[in-house]
Amino acid sequence: MTASVKIFTLFFGIFVILSGTAFPEGPATGQCLPSQYDLEGPYYLSGAPLRSDIAGPDEPGQRIIIKGKVLTSDCRTPVSEALIEIWQTGADGEYHYREEGFRLRGQINAGIDGHYSFSTIKPGRYGLLRGFRPAHIHMKVTHPEYEPLITQLYFKGDPYLWPQDACGRGCKSNDPHRIIELDEKKGVLQGTFNIILTPAKK
């Protein structure tokens, strides 16, 4: 991580923590609500390749598969062919960039039935200010008929979820809809994460 990125990350972290006081607690489970919006953050890059294998075959780390559906605001009707951009850290908690072939970055299209799936490795935690961010995967979801969404998914049991998250409430790691459980199947961890979009205003 370059010095300029570290400085940007420091100020971004302070901004999110200060602004996070305006965000409410996460919604109760069982409610049908749109996925909560996040700030894009300093690590997003446009132009990552289309690929469902986000982590290359030689990428160190524990293999995981994430799957789910992209749905409209009734939490039942699929959104066809939404574009999902994905970025994350490596197992060591470091982000990577264009110069490394968009390592641990990619784009996928949900199917006509709204289903999507990708394979990767479980991301590592990284330090922020005087604490740590829990392991997480970023997603940016776009579709011409829906409001764009930037979100993050987290993993159940991570000791740095809110209230230990150094990002504070601004990163919403207290949202039960974004904390997924991973189950092991044939040596690979698998989890389900559904994405609820809001129709665009006309």
Which residues are known catalytic residues?
95, 126, 133, 136, 138
Distances (CA, A) of 129 to 49, 124, 125, 166: 32, 17, 13, 7
Distance CA 67, CA 57 (A): 19
Distance CA 30, CA 53 (A): 31
Prior bond of 163 cis (ω within 30°): yes
Block residue for tokens 């109760």:
28
Could you count the other beta carbons within 10 Å of the beta carbon of residue 156? Answer: 11
Torsion angle of C-alpha atoms 35, 36, 37, 41, degrees rounded to 10: -110
Angle at 48 between CA 139 and CA 158, to 5 degrees: 35
